[in-house]
């Protein structure tokens, strides 16, 4: 079972920041937080990941709380093309136990004009 909890759906106005929350209260010390998205049933697209520090790349920012029990993915200026299902996943990275991703239901983000 997925170790994360996300809202089922969210709306965001085009051009505004989209803030997608994720709860992972049972996260272990060696587990990373990963975010992927899936647009129109295409292959999942990697967005960003982090362990405990906040991270930023060209796509998004990831804010992880100090206790690591929750995080927020921020799309700074959402566009219509960001409409997708966003998945928050926790997984062990550098540990020889397979590294499979366990997808939950994700958050369906609708960016509206």
Ranges within 38-77 binding other proteins (CB under 8 A): 38, 41-46, 49
The verdict on 98 binding other proteins (CB under 8 A) reads yes
DSSP lists the bridge partners of residue 74 as 19, 61
Helix (H, G, I), strand (E, B) or coil at 57: coil
Question: Among all chains, which residue has been given the structure tokens 């060209």?
Answer: 58
Among the residue ranges 10-18, 19-27, 33-41, 52-60, the one whose residues contact other proteins (CB under 8 A):
33-41
C-alpha 40/C-alpha 25 separation (Å) is: 30
Distance CA 22, CA 51 (A): 14
34 binds other proteins (CB under 8 A): yes
Q: Which is nearer to other proteins, 12 or 47 (CB)?
A: 47
With DSSP H G I counted as helix, E B as strand and the rest as coil, what are the percentages for the chain, rounded to 5?
5, 45, 50
- Interface pick for other proteins out of 72, 104, 108, 110 (rule CB under 8 A): 104
Nearer CB in complex with other proteins: 29/94:
94
The residue ranges that bind other proteins (CB under 8 A) are: 34, 36, 38, 41-46, 49, 87, 93-106
């Amino acid at each position: 079972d997925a170790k994360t909890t996300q809202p089922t759906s969210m709306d965001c106005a085009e051009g505004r920041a989209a803030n997608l929350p994720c709860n992972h209260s049972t996260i272990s010390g060696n587990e990373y937080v990963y975010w992927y998205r899936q647009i129109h049933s295409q292959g999942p697209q990697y967005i960003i990941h982090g362990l405990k520090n906040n991270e930023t790349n060209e796509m998004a920012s990831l804010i992880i709380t100090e206790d690591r029990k929750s995080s927020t993915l921020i799309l700074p200026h959402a566009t219509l093309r960001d409409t997708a299902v966003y998945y928050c996943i926790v997984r062990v990275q550098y540990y020889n136990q397979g590294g499979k991703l366990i997808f939950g239901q994700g958050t369906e983000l609708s960016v509206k004009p």
